[in-house]
Every structure is written in structure tokens, then in C-alpha cells.
Amino acid sequence: DDLVLNGIKNPAVSGSSGTFAVETQDAADVTIDEGAAAAVTITAATLTSTGVTPASLAAGAAGNVTVSFTTINSLPSNGKIVVTFPAGFTLSSGGASAASSLTNLDGTLSASIVGQVITLTRSGGTNSAANAKSFILSNIKNPAATGLTGTFQIKTTNATDATIDQNLAVTGVTITS
């Protein structure tokens, strides 16, 4: 027979749940039957209201880029925000990229860059509730070619890089002459 339980919430991070222990008991809490149920894979929730918007859309312009999104789950105080730019963008152009003008994110965000990926690690703050968040990245250079860029990606992770929320298809922008 099936038993449906209500009010159960999935873990906030993606990955394996581990196995489940199941047992039946009599009125005196004596085990009648017991067994294990297979693990399930928890997938990341989808970020909503996502956007990556350069202050200038001119080809080759360097400056600030606003990143915005709404989380479904909370972001830990030591969590990370990972932003992947499409090919053609230059990160840390003319100086180190940094995050400023934080909305609904306390503490600081320290930036590290590998290729087209900027990873922002939180520190000095508290767990950030599920809500709309934004910040500005500095020293990002637009592609030299005009036209629609590829898609951006944004994801949040915990300190060990397990994905919490993500959007892997954030709409690109149109670079102008």
C-alpha cells in the first residue's frame, strides 16, 4: 500500500538524498517490519527574474554589469554566486572585477575568475532569505562584435559547491556599434 505524507520539504541543495529507512510499529512501538527505500536525486531549483545587463551595450565598451535574480531557497552566509558570461566578454578588463551595490545580500562578495566564469564568495553576512537579489560587477568588457550574445548562466551554491538554485539559460543581450 502507498502512504502519502504532506508537508515534507526537500533539502535546499542538489544531490543524492541518501537512502530512507522505513518501518512499521505496533501500538507499543515494537518494530513489525523494516526496510530501506532507495535514494532520490534532488535537483536544483530554478532562479527566476534573472538578468545580466551591461551599463553600455556598445561593442568593446568596458564598465559595470548588473546581475539580478530571485532565489527559491536561501543563500548561506558562506555560499557562492556563480555567473558565466558568453564568449567574447572580457572579465577584469582594466582592473579586478568586484561586486558592489548589493541588494538583499549582506556582508561582502569576493570575486574570483576562471575563463568566462566569475565566482562570488559570500563572507561576513547572514543567511540570505529567498528573495530578489542584485549586485553590480565592475570592469567587464563587452564583445567587440555586434549582435546577440549567447546566454548567461547564474547559479547559487553552498560552500562546497553543491548547486542550490540556477538558471542556465539567462537571455543574452544585443551588442550595438
CB 75 within 8 A of CB 58: no
User: What pTM did the predictor assign?
Assistant: 0.83
What sign has the CA pseudo-torsion 65, 71, 147, 90? positive
121 CB-near residues (< 8 Å, 6+ apart): 78, 79, 80, 109, 110, 112
Mean pLDDT computed over every residue of the chain: 92
CB 24 within 8 A of CB 1: no
Task: Please indicate whether residue 64 or residue 1 has the higher confidence score (pLDDT).
Answer: 64
Task: Please indicate whether residue 19 or residue 69 has the higher confidence score (pLDDT).
Answer: 69
pLDDT of residue 7: 85
Q: Tens digit of pLDDT for each residue in 42-99? A: 878 899 999 999 999 999 999 999 999 999 999 999 999 999 999 999 998 878 888 8
pLDDT of residue 160: 94
